[in-house]
Amino acid sequence: MMNTTLHAFNARAAARGGPDATGSVLAGHDELVRHLGRVFDGLWLAPLAGPVMAGPAGVIAGRQPLPPINVWEDDEAVMVEAELPGFKLSDLEITWEDRLLTIRGRRGDEADTTDGKGRYLRRERMVGEFSRSLRIAEEIDPDQVRATLNDGVLTVRLAKAPSVRPRTIAITTGA
Amino acid sequence: MTCCNSNTNDPASTRGLPSGEASNCVCVTDGSRPAAERPSFMPSHDVLRGPDGLTVIADMPGVKRTDLEITAEGGVLSIVGRVAPRGGRDGAEPDYLLREYGVGDYRVAFKLPAEVDADRIAATLTDGVLRVTLPTRAELTRRRIAVTN
């Protein structure tokens, strides 16, 4: 379901030309958010109707699909996981600002690194730059945002602020 | 990424690696069923032809080298990458707020062109990207057929 939606979104973004690699990523981002709101009439936001997230959005240069993202939460943290095979730490930039988690990255063309002489017979893998942003409505401790990259899987752990974590209330007997 | 075991159950179906100029690609599973009920996925992949042979590059995020099984048998190259459950505690599935991909094993199989030298197939796995090199032998690529009367 989400995949179908995502592809539809990308197809539309591509049809519109999409933002170019050197253009303002944020401007394109805002435009796409407005566009999404119109086109899908809130459909995208439907699975995110819970308290945590306001909605995902992103842009990519080169008309390629965005890397997919999964998000879940437990009592202590909101977890954001992205499949980013072939990305190294130096290829990624992760920022947390004003409740907005942004993951940017770039993956090069394999033909560049192979020997320069190969030609593609089939090509499915994403190449180029991407930027995805997630607005997290939950109160997050900004000093406790941690990212790890293992075997092409990026995991960002956003610890919830102590004030919003569930706590057990001790019951005392009244006098 | 495409889920490949939801509706393709033909055990004989494999992806044809292009031989020569023709690209006879068919969609695909390798026929073997996953042990558990977990879904398996066909990895996104590129196929490149270079002067020395073919290269298959497949995105298999989450796969470690020890969890990868590559076999070449009977003219079929089979790739299986097992992915450990992740997300929830004790491997349980978490409560997703947003779910754009499923976590499961990767499976894909290719029909090898005759000119591939199966003894020299090599593979590397780096940062979740599998690269399989399939060297070709010139004497297998072109064969002169003698005509007798």
Give me the interface pTM, i.e. the ipTM.
0.72
pLDDT tens readout for residues B68-101: 999 999 889 999 999 988 876 666 778 889 998 8
| Nearest beta carbon to residue A120 from set B48, B64, B99 | B48
Q: Does A31 or A154 have the greater pLDDT score?
A: A154
Q: Write the burial class of residue B102 (CB in 10 Å: 0-12 exposed, 13-18 middle, 19+ buried).
A: middle
Q: For chain B, say whether A124 makes contact (Cβ under 8 Å).
A: yes
Give the pLDDT score at A165.
Answer: 80
Q: For chain A, say whether B129 makes contact (Cβ under 8 Å).
A: yes
CA distance A168 to chain B (A): 20
- Chain position carrying tokens 């994403």: A126
Mutate to test the interface with A, among B23, B100, B129 (most CBs of A within 10 A): B100
Number of Cβ within 10 Å of residue B98's Cβ equals: 21
Query: pTM of the prediction?
Result: 0.67
Q: For chain A, say whether B27 makes contact (Cβ under 8 Å).
A: no
Number of Cβ within 10 Å of residue B116's Cβ equals: 23
Cross-chain residue pair B127–A151, CB shorter than 8 Å: yes
Q: Which residues in chain B are contacts of A122 at CB distance < 8 A?
A: 18, 23, 25, 45-47
- Tell me the mean pLDDT in the region B92-121: 89
Number of Cβ within 10 Å of residue A70's Cβ equals: 23
Cross-chain residue pair A121–B49, CB shorter than 8 Å: yes
- Tell me the mean pLDDT in the region B22-28: 35
| Nearest beta carbon to residue B57 from set A69, A71, A125 | A125
Residues 6+ apart with CB under 8 A from B148: none
Q: How confident is the model at residue B17 (pLDDT cuts 50, 70, 90)?
A: low
Strands across the sheet containing A128-136: A53-60, A128-136, A100-107, A92-97
- The SS3 assignment for A48 reads helix
Q: For chain B, say whether A9 makes contact (Cβ under 8 Å).
A: no
Q: What percent of chain B has pLDDT over 90?
A: 36
Give the whole-angstrom CA distance, residue A72 versus residue A78: 6
| Nearest beta carbon to residue A124 from set B46, B100, B103 | B46
Q: For chain B, say whether A75 makes contact (Cβ under 8 Å).
A: no
Q: Which residues in chain B are contacts of A87 at CB distance < 8 A?
A: 127
Q: What is the DSSP letter of B33?
A: P
Q: For chain A, say whether B101 makes contact (Cβ under 8 Å).
A: yes
Nearest to A127 by CA among B79, B48, B102: B48
Give the pLDDT score at A153.
Answer: 95
Give the whole-angstrom CA distance, residue B125 versus residue B81: 11
CA distance between the termini of chain A: 57
pLDDT tens readout for residues B43-75: 999 888 888 889 999 999 999 999 999 999 988
Give the whole-angstrom CA distance, residue A82 versus residue A155: 7
Q: How confident is the model at residue A110 (pLDDT cuts 50, 70, 90)?
A: low
Task: Please check whether residue B62 is in contact with residue A152, taking contact to mean a CB–CB distance below 8 angstroms.
Answer: yes
Residue B10 has pLDDT above 80, yes or no: no
Give the whole-angstrom CA distance, residue A172 versus residue B30: 63
β-bridge partners, A60: A130
Give the pLDDT score at B142.
Answer: 64
By CA distance, what is B15's nearest residue in A? A122
Cross-chain residue pair B55–A122, CB shorter than 8 Å: no
> Could you tell me the two tokens for A124?
């499915």
